[in-house]
Structure 1
Amino acid sequence: MVIFTSICANYLHKARTLAKSVKDNIKDSTFIVCLLETELKDNYNYEFFDEIILSKDCWEGNFERFIFKHTIVEASTSVKGQFFRFLYKKFPNENKFVYLDPDTYVYSDFYELKEILCDNPIVVCPHLLQPGNIDMELSSAAHGVFNLGFLAVNNSDNAKSFIDWWSERLYLFCYDEKEKGIFTDQKWIGLAPCFFDVYILKHRGYDFATWSLLDCGMEEINGEYFIKGDSLRFIHFSGYGKTIENCMKKWLPDGEHPFKKLYSEYSEIHDKNNYDAISKTKWSYDYFVSGEKILEKTRYEYRKNNELMFKIENPFEKSNSFIIENSILNNKQKLKEVLTKFIKKIWR
């Protein structure tokens, strides 16, 4: 089983925490980090990473032109589809591929998932498995029914067709634009069961997360953890910090609780793995070659203007003023062309 996560360097401490939990519990696993940085530095390596691969080194096409469109959160999700395609080529004899968000922690082997992937090409987990938490139901409607902190596929033609479709959508539209019906890579998967053979995994021990806390039924029995009878496989500590802590206060009973214990243990490991303050690392794709910081407005102007985008081979070699000014000029030229055509049509 090949397991990977996709991160920028400021999340390496989370990936370290995840990697060891994977290696401790899934003995036949290979753990790979997809890293969205311009270079690989010596301090990025870690004993439980089988390999770190720079996104640009496995990309099909112009990576700089593509990644410039995205904010840091969008970027780490935008490459996942293409990285699955890369892993298919790198591990042609492997039949089980799993993506996990870096803020997850594995507690036991994925016995059920391994069996499911023998006969099912694509496996996803819903955010919610029961009604009742209206806040999270609304959030799922906005962000996506299925949580893309987890995705598993096998090596079948159906799975590859799905990955190709998803990769193409992420290449064009992997933005945090909920007002347009898009939330990074996640909302697209709502369509996947309509197009492909998708297995919806409703085992409560997979992708247990912040949104699962209300009436979760978690219990500890002889040192093992269960959620309403299902063995705990992994927790997705999404919203680590204040968000999770507020949700625990809101949705868990007062006093001791198994999740509170696991969160405390995870926090200790998580913080220790930030021993070198790696979390403060600046994103290398957040700057032009000159050192000028890229403005969010610049990325937006760039990605909404296809003509400008394909005129520039490497946008990182330009500047904020160059891209914004040329975007405005392109828009004025388009407007002029439209008006000219309109006037000619009237005077025919």
Structure 2
Amino acid sequence: MIVFTSICTNYAHKARTLAESVKKNIPDAKFLVCLTEREEPETMNSPYFDEVILSKDMWEGNFNRYIYKHAIVEASTSVKGHFFKYIISHYPEEDKFVYLDPDCFVYSDFVELRNLLDTRPIILCPHLLQPGNIDMELSSTAHGVYNLGFLAVNRSEEAVRFINWWADRLYLFCYDDIQRGIFTDQKWIDLAPCFFDVEVFKHRGYDFATWSLLDCGMTKENGQYFVKGDPLRFIHFSGYGATIEKCMRDWLPEGEHPFKELYKEYSKVHEKNNEDNVSKTPWSYSKYYSGEAVEDKLRIEYRNNNDAMYSIEDPFALSNSEIKRILKNKKQNLFELGIQSLKQNGVRETWRRIIKQL
């Protein structure tokens, strides 16, 4: 089994924490890190990482042109589909592949998941397994029914079909843009059970998370943790810090609780792994080679202008002013094309041509 996560260096402490828990509880698993940085820094050295692979090194095509259009959170999620393709191709001896977000922590071996992957090609976990938390129900309609902090596939034609489809969608649209119905890599997966042979995994011990807290039924018995009778396999500490702490106050009873105990223990390991302040590491793709910071609004303009995007071989070799000039020129060219077409072809044909350019 391969377990991997996808990060930029500022999440190395979370990846260290996750990897340690994987190696302790799933000792036969290989743990890989997909790192979206220009180079691998020394801070990525960890005895629990079997391999760190730079996104640019596993990419097919012009990676700089691709990654420039993404903010940091979009970037680390946008490469996940292609990384699945990479590991399926480059680890032919493996037949089970699991993605976990870096803020997950494993508590016991994935017994049920291993058995499922013997026969089921694609396995997803829903955010919610019971009604009642209307805040999280509304959140799921916006952010996605299934949580992509976890995804598992086996080596099968169906899994490869799914991964290829998902990777293609992420190549085009992996943005934090809820108004357009997109939430990074996650919202796309609402469609997966419609298109592919997907197992919706409803074991409460997998992907237990912040959104699971209300009426969660977590217990501790003889040193082992259970969620309404299901043995705890891993917790997704999404919203670590203020968000989780607020949810614990709002959704858990006062006094001692097994989740509060686990959160306290996780916090100690998490903070220990950040003693070198790796969380403060600037993202290398946030700047041009010159050191000038990339303006976030330019990323959005760039990705919405295909003519400009595909005319630039390496945007990081330029500057904000040069990118602005190219975008302005391409917009002007499109305007001039519209005027010329209007004179020659009339309104209907002009709109058809402009829409095609967009």
The TM-score with structure 2 as length reference comes to: 0.96
Does 2:257 align with 1:236?
A: no
- For 1:46-85, what per-residue CA distance to the aligned partner results, in whole angstroms no more than 9, with x for missing partners? 0000011111011011100100010000000000000001
Partner residue, 1:245: 245
- 1:11-90 aligned at under 5 Å gives the runs 11-90=11-90
Q: Report the number of matched residues.
A: 347
Partner residue, 1:297: 297
- For 1:147-180, what per-residue CA distance to the aligned partner results, in whole angstroms no more than 9, with x for missing partners? 0000000000000010000000000000000000
Deviating beyond 6 angstroms after TM superposition, the runs of 4 or more aligned structure 1 residues are: none
CA distance in 2, matches of 1:321, 1:58: 31
Specify the code of the residue in structure 1 equivalent to 2:30: T
Partner residue, 1:174: 174
Partner residue, 2:92: 92
- 1:164-203 aligned at under 5 Å gives the runs 164-203=164-203
Partner residue, 1:101: 101
- For 1:117-145, what per-residue CA distance to the aligned partner results, in whole angstroms no more than 9, with x for missing partners? 01000000000000000000000000000
CA distance in 1, matches of 2:170, 2:40: 24
Structure 1 residue runs of 5 or longer lacking an equivalent are: none
Specify the code of the residue in structure 2 equivalent to 1:192: A
Partner residue, 2:265: 265
Q: SS of the counterpart of 1:311?
A: coil
Specify the code of the residue in structure 2 equivalent to 1:283: W
CA distance in 2, matches of 1:174, 1:62: 17
CA distance in 2, matches of 1:15, 1:88: 21
Partner residue, 2:144: 144
Shift of 1:13: 0.3
Shift of 1:322: 1.1
Q: SS of the counterpart of 2:326?
A: helix
Retained in 2: the 8 A contact 1:301–1:323?
Answer: no
CA distance in 2, matches of 1:329, 1:42: 42
**Residues 298 and 346 (structure 1), Cα distance of their counterparts in 2 relative to 1, 3 Å cut:** closer
Structure 2 residue runs of 5 or longer lacking an equivalent are: 348-358
Partner residue, 2:124: 124
CA distance in 1, matches of 2:346, 2:305: 28
- For 1:217-274, what per-residue CA distance to the aligned partner results, in whole angstroms no more than 9, with x for missing partners? 0000011000000000000000000000000000000000000000000000000000
Does 2:159 align with 1:159?
A: yes
CA distance in 1, matches of 2:227, 2:244: 18
Shift of 1:345: 3.1
Shift of 1:336: 1.5
CA distance in 2, matches of 1:258, 1:72: 34
CA distance in 2, matches of 1:148, 1:71: 18
Shift of 1:23: 0.3
User: Percentage identity across aligned positions?
Assistant: 63
Does 2:225 align with 1:225?
A: yes
Shift of 1:332: 1.7
Specify the code of the residue in structure 2 equivalent to 1:184: T
Retained in 2: the 8 A contact 1:143–1:187?
Answer: yes
CA distance in 2, matches of 1:281, 1:123: 34
CA distance in 1, matches of 2:332, 2:80: 36
CA distance in 2, matches of 1:2, 1:306: 36
Specify the code of the residue in structure 1 equivalent to 2:161: S
Cα RMSD, aligned residues only:
0.9
Specify the code of the residue in structure 2 equivalent to 1:64: N
Partner residue, 1:254: 254
Shift of 1:343: 2.0
Shift of 1:346: 4.8
Q: SS of the counterpart of 1:126?
A: coil
Task: Give the stretch that moved more between structures: 103-112 or 332-341.
Answer: 332-341
Specify the code of the residue in structure 2 equivalent to 1:44: M
CA distance in 2, matches of 1:216, 1:289: 49
- For 1:56-115, what per-residue CA distance to the aligned partner results, in whole angstroms no more than 9, with x for missing partners? 011011100100010000000000000001001111121100000000000000000000
The TM-score with structure 1 as length reference comes to: 0.99
